[in-house]
Amino acid sequence: MTHNARQRFRASPKLKLRDKDADDATFSSRAANPKLGKSRGKTLDLERTAALIDRIAALQDKLYAQHKQKVLLVLQGSDTAGKDGTVRALFSRISPMGLRAVAFKGPTDNELAHDYLWRVHQHVPVNGEIAIFNRSHYEDVLITRVQGWIDDDECKRRYAQIRDFERMLAETGTVIIKVFLHISREEQRERLQERLDDPDKQWKFNPEDIKQREKWDDYQRAYEKAIRETDAPHAPWYVVPANSKTHRNLVIASLLLETLEGMDLQYPPPHPDLSSFTVV
Amino acid sequence: MTHNARQRFRASPKLKLRDKDADDATFSSRAANPKLGKSRGKTLDLERTAALIDRIAALQDKLYAQHKQKVLLVLQGSDTAGKDGTVRALFSRISPMGLRAVAFKGPTDNELAHDYLWRVHQHVPVNGEIAIFNRSHYEDVLITRVQGWIDDDECKRRYAQIRDFERMLAETGTVIIKVFLHISREEQRERLQERLDDPDKQWKFNPEDIKQREKWDDYQRAYEKAIRETDAPHAPWYVVPANSKTHRNLVIASLLLETLEGMDLQYPPPHPDLSSFTVV
């Protein structure tokens, strides 16, 4: 694969989610070689993703040793879009010493008593870390807007505040990647239905998901708007087709690897006087 | 392997580290079958550890879903004892969603301006999490005591405070496991020498390690004392022979798995009214 995920999946300023194919499989082995069988293609994709993860792990080791830069990966997407699955698939093979995975749930009373960036700020990565936000401050311009808890004016102010916040993070040494997991309405229906049908998944079913689903179009508009308003060269949004989990993981691993490769990660130099020491 | 790591490696109230063999390989495949070649034995040990890690991952998934209990694994040991290596080997294959790895370094000014348990308390696991402390509040009765920053009376007070703190954590739902990685003085010499000789490890070399090594015996006594004074049924210490990395990982994986198996981890029950929902 040539390295072009960042170019291929970067959100445009005129993003329209309805024009984005959630089944897009551009990066798949079958797209490159249509003669491949479905199962063989999937196996190849899994192998390629595993190879990317190995390279990510090697670079994360340098990031941790160098202790000078940090990476923030924001994952957003509707219920069942695969945020948890992405974290599990891509990051459960990487040393946890330099990794911080944070899932933001509904805010607590104490969190609500602060500004909405307060709880997020506490979990930004430190030098040497990759932090993954499973949901994030973007919820504060998504569910809040769709439910009418904030109006358009407040929402605009928040876009600007988020832009400022992320620029500050970038200027102080954080490399930011933002990923929207794009699934289709039909795909969500199937995944929710699975939670009702599959005994192993039933514990995940939450009636609230069905209520939120009724507002699918409102959510799509809110995502579209938030992405357009907060995309920036130092805090880029990527719209990743996510109906296929295998292809989704391949794309996100590519995005992360390309980003790390652009960071000039090196092990720190040894002590200048190594030869003067002996261990007795 | 029969499940008895917790019994086999539990610290005794009369622990003497000098009587503990850091090369002990009781759990190895070669101990069970001395006819095995060295390399074959190691391969088998690695395979067994991998199988244990798979079972740990499955139980961690339930821990996370159940969201009612939490696990704290404390790793202590001298420089080069393998704390980082243990985290990397055992936890880089487990979903980071329910995992928190925290490395405690020398305290900051702000941390020093608080009591010594303050910064530790902030990182204790939440429901559903396994937290790994790479060093911990035990540094505050180890390096501090060996360097003479605190005297015997203060050290005794701290043992009691640590006992109280850990009992509170246990009583409020945290399952605690404390592991001392036991290497020999000679093994440390070899590992430090490697940092001087191996270009890939030279960046890890810190002259301070050589200074600390001069106080090896003082440290051994301080560990011994701290372990004896703070071992408890709800916060047990395990002394793990750690000259062999493969065997060390096998033992710690066994300790963790046995602990998780004792916790009655279950997926939560589904919504009582599943059949009343349809996804449109």
Q: State pLDDT tens for residues A50-105.
A: 999 999 999 999 999 999 999 999 999 999 999 999 999 999 889 999 999 999 99
Judge: B205–A277 Cβ closer than 8 Å, yes or no: yes
DSSP states of B69-81 as a string?
-EEEEEEE-STTS
Interchain contact A57–B (C-beta under 8 A): yes
Q: Which two tokens stand for residue A127?
A: 């030098």
Count of residues in chain A:
280
Q: How would you list the strands of the sheet with A237-241, edge to edge?
A: A99-103, A130-134, A70-77, A174-182, A237-241
Please state the φ and ψ torsions of residue A147, each to the nearest 5 degrees. Answer: -80, -5
Judge: A270–B206 Cβ closer than 8 Å, yes or no: no
Domains of chain B, start order: 5-265 (3.40.50.300)
Interchain contact A277–B (C-beta under 8 A): yes
- Nearest chain B residue (CA) to A133: B97
Q: What is the mean pLDDT of residues B203-224?
A: 94
Judge: B271–A87 Cβ closer than 8 Å, yes or no: no
Residue with tokens 């408890």: B232
Residue B1 scores a pLDDT above 50: no
Residue A2 scores a pLDDT above 60: no
Please state the φ and ψ torsions of residue A61, each to the nearest 5 degrees. Answer: -60, -40
For residue range B61-84, what is the model confidence (pLDDT) as tens digits? 999 999 999 999 999 999 999 999
For residue range A95-140, what is the model confidence (pLDDT) as tens digits? 999 999 999 999 999 999 999 999 999 999 999 999 999 999 999 9
Interchain contact B101–A (C-beta under 8 A): yes
Judge: A96–B96 Cβ closer than 8 Å, yes or no: yes
CB B75 within 8 Å of CB B132: yes
Of the candidates A132, A203, A207, the beta carbon closest to that of B268 is on: A203
Residue B55 scores a pLDDT above 90: yes
**Secondary structure element (H or E) that encloses residue B238, with its range:** strand B237-241
Judge: B271–A94 Cβ closer than 8 Å, yes or no: no
Q: Sort out which chain A residues have CB atoms less than 8 A from B92's CB and list them.
A: 57, 92-96
CB B138 within 8 Å of CB B226: yes
Q: Please state at what angle helix B216-230 crosses helix B152-171, rounded to 10 degrees.
A: 40
Interchain contact B57–A (C-beta under 8 A): yes
Lowest-confidence pick of A201-215, B62-76, B232-246: A201-215
Q: Which two tokens stand for residue A162?
A: 């988020």
Lowest-confidence pick of A151-165, A214-228, A253-267, B266-280: B266-280
CB B251 within 8 Å of CB B89: no
Q: Beta-strand (E) ranges in chain A? A: 70-77, 99-103, 130-134, 174-182, 237-241
Please name the residue ranges forming H helices in chain B: 5-9, 29-32, 38-66, 83-91, 109-112, 118-121, 143-146, 152-171, 185-197, 207-213, 216-230, 245-261
CB B260 within 8 Å of CB B58: no
Q: How many CA atoms lie within 13 A of B264 on its CB side?
A: 2
Q: Which two tokens stand for residue B242?
A: 């750690």
Q: Residue B97 gets which letter from DSSP?
A: G
The CA distance from B59 to the nearest CA of chain A, in Å, is: 14
